[in-house]
Chain A
């Protein structure tokens, strides 16, 4: 018997022994999926629709809910583009140059991920609240940040700072600087190089980061809760509206608004899956070259 067939039979035996392990692991994965992911999803929808579609729609088109939806979209609309520009700038300087203190900078970019969202809200209250550092000055000039829309936007910005940068840094480090250098040597100016070389290369990573950033901005609760003051129709985002309805024991309305958020989350997952598959395809084609 050749050594090749010996190896093959031994590894076959090992695989047969693993058949039970395989079944156990796949069963376990399914169990976790059903218990942890599928059931929470189903209960949101079933609670929302327990009295049919009419109360479901009523809860969603109610003026306070629509105002909350508008505020959530506003917070997303401001924080995502700002953090997108920041992410590109941060990833650019981290991945294209060598400088002292780079690893500290990367750690600082990630900092908002390890700070509790409630603390993120708290620091803005300490800065701009009535008893805060700038409180008296803001009151003199009749500017309100805490318990108003600017506070909500600031809190959302804080918690979503790292998302785009985090996706782009490893991607751009992997791509290196040769293509950009070639463009420069061929006479492209900085912007031409960015638009024609860098941007097409990082496009899918960028979209991936934006998708994750949007999800967090849309769903942020703790940070926004601290600075909101919960004024209905004015400083209530959709997640905060869910909380208020839930605390009022208005279960159908709470779960109806939650279903709307769930729908948005599933759409975001779909976008994420799509951008991820594009990234993998790009990587695979780069590997073939």
Chain B
């Protein structure tokens, strides 16, 4: 109704103008500068940088560990959301409040804390040492750090959806003879999947770009445990702006394509 009539509420020009100017100055123009700077490179130069062995190794590591961490969060987050929404148990309030700790805690603090825990002599790392493997300074350590910093995403997107599914729907399915797994597969999963994918995509995007928590636990060995954002940092330290720009553009383009794919998958599920 109010959408067709001329709005009686003032401020459209002011707020839209301010929003556009602020966003342009702070975000859009600077990001545009990245792409303009990249055009100073020829296509061959750009291609040579982004297909060099070190960049490809970092690309695989960054996207691989972010994907693993997002999947791990998909499982852990579903478990946490389920327990927090469906059950009342002692400690529930504390867990509920502490879920957001990874968002409130500076990533550098998370980084040194996780490194201390998972280092070969650390409280958890020593068990791994006894079993003959390492957690810190390996891709496994990077995955754990990413899982920590992106922990709240899946929980927080699933919780409201889960709370909105009436218990009666599941009970009706059970009364009609569905086994618990069938209830999950045919009743809960379709309702939860879009939100789950949103949380997954958020965690994945954050994980690909994450820097602070990872560099402490990664060990940062070229070709082995060097993530893409760190590689940009290394190029900048050597005043190789062209190299840093090319890697930055590569990262943005690959993330954009992957998020687009997740988005399309989500639409397809919503339509089905």
* A39 contact set on B, CB distance < 8 A: 117, 123-124
A interface residues (Cβ-Cβ under 8 A, vs B): 7, 10-11, 14, 17-18, 21-22, 25-26, 28-30, 32-33, 36-41, 43-44, 47, 86, 89-90, 92-93, 96-99, 105, 108-109, 111-119, 122-127, 129, 131-133, 154, 157-158, 161, 177, 180-181, 184-185, 190, 193-194, 212, 215-216, 218-222, 225-226, 238-240, 242-243, 246, 254-255, 258, 261-262, 265-266, 268-269, 272-273
13 additional contacts, CB 8 Å, given A18-B180, A36-B76, A262-B109?
Answer: A25-B83, A96-B11, A114-B205, A124-B30, A126-B241, A177-B9, A181-B9, A219-B108, A221-B107, A258-B109, A258-B113, A265-B101, A269-B101
Tell me the smallest distance from the CB of B136 to a CB of chain A, in Å.
Answer: 13
Cβ-defined partner of B106 (8 Å) among A89, A133, A190, A238: A238
In the complex, whether B95 has a CB less than 8 A from a CB of chain A is yes
User: Do the beta carbons of A43 and B8 come within 8 Å of each other?
Assistant: no
Task: Contacts A39-B117, A111-B31 given; indicate if A255 touches B112 (C-beta within 8 A).
Answer: yes
User: Do the beta carbons of A111 and B148 come within 8 Å of each other?
Assistant: no
User: Do the beta carbons of B34 and A118 come within 8 Å of each other?
Assistant: no
Q: Which residue of B lies closest to A125 (CB)?
A: B236
* A125 contact set on B, CB distance < 8 A: 236, 241
User: Do the beta carbons of B212 and A221 come within 8 Å of each other?
Assistant: yes
* A265 contact set on B, CB distance < 8 A: 101, 104-106, 109
Q: Which of B242-272 contact A (CB under 8 A)?
A: 244-245, 248, 251-252, 255-256, 259
* B122 contact set on A, CB distance < 8 A: 43
- Give Cα A18 to B183, complex, Å: 12
* B212 contact set on A, CB distance < 8 A: 117, 219, 221-222, 225, 239
Tell me the smallest distance from the CB of A141 to a CB of chain B, in Å.
Answer: 19
Cβ-defined partner of B82 (8 Å) among A25, A44, A115: A25
In the complex, whether B89 has a CB less than 8 A from a CB of chain A is yes
Cβ-defined partner of B30 (8 Å) among A37, A97, A158: A158
Most buried by A among B147, B245, B248, B252: B248
Cβ-defined partner of B239 (8 Å) among A123, A131, A240, A266: A131
Cβ-defined partner of A126 (8 Å) among B33, B114, B230: B33
* A33 contact set on B, CB distance < 8 A: 91, 94-95, 98
* B22 contact set on A, CB distance < 8 A: 86, 89
Choose, from B12-20, B49-57, B188-196, the stretch at the interface: B12-20
Tell me the smallest distance from the CB of B84 to a CB of chain A, in Å.
Answer: 7
- Give Cα A44 to B251, complex, Å: 32
In the complex, whether B133 has a CB less than 8 A from a CB of chain A is no
* B108 contact set on A, CB distance < 8 A: 219, 221, 239-240, 242-243, 258, 261
Task: Contacts A92-B15, A108-B23, A157-B26 given; indicate if A40 touches B110 (C-beta within 8 A).
Answer: yes
B interface residues (Cβ-Cβ under 8 A, vs A): 2-3, 7-12, 14-16, 18-20, 22-23, 26-28, 30-31, 33-34, 37, 76, 79-80, 82-84, 86-87, 89, 91, 94-95, 97-110, 112-114, 116-117, 122-124, 147-148, 151, 171, 174-175, 180, 202, 205-206, 208-212, 216, 228-230, 232-233, 236, 239, 241, 244-245, 248, 251-252, 255-256, 259
User: Do the beta carbons of A242 and B112 come within 8 Å of each other?
Assistant: yes
* B230 contact set on A, CB distance < 8 A: 118
User: Do the beta carbons of B241 and A131 come within 8 Å of each other?
Assistant: yes
User: Do the beta carbons of B83 and A119 come within 8 Å of each other?
Assistant: no
* B8 contact set on A, CB distance < 8 A: 181, 184-185
User: Do the beta carbons of A116 and B87 come within 8 Å of each other?
Assistant: no
Q: Which residue of A lies closest to B215 (CB)?
A: A243
User: Do the beta carbons of A122 and B232 come within 8 Å of each other?
Assistant: yes
| Chain A, interface SS category | helix
Tell me the smallest distance from the CB of B75 to a CB of chain A, in Å.
Answer: 10
User: Do the beta carbons of A161 and B23 come within 8 Å of each other?
Assistant: yes
- Give Cα A269 to B100, complex, Å: 7
- Give Cα A261 to B105, complex, Å: 7
User: Do the beta carbons of A89 and B18 come within 8 Å of each other?
Assistant: yes
Task: Contacts A37-B98, A221-B107 given; indicate if A21 touches B180 (C-beta within 8 A).
Answer: yes
User: Do the beta carbons of B33 and A272 come within 8 Å of each other?
Assistant: no
* B84 contact set on A, CB distance < 8 A: 29
- Give Cα A7 to B170, complex, Å: 12
Tell me the smallest distance from the CB of B22 to a CB of chain A, in Å.
Answer: 5
* A266 contact set on B, CB distance < 8 A: 104
Tell me the smallest distance from the CB of B108 to a CB of chain A, in Å.
Answer: 4
- Give Cα A124 to B152, complex, Å: 30
- Give Cα A69 to B14, complex, Å: 36
User: Do the beta carbons of B95 and A44 come within 8 Å of each other?
Assistant: no
* B241 contact set on A, CB distance < 8 A: 125-126, 129, 131-132
User: Do the beta carbons of A32 and B10 come within 8 Å of each other?
Assistant: no
Task: Contacts A89-B19, A181-B9, A221-B108 given; indicate if A118 touches B211 (C-beta within 8 A).
Answer: yes
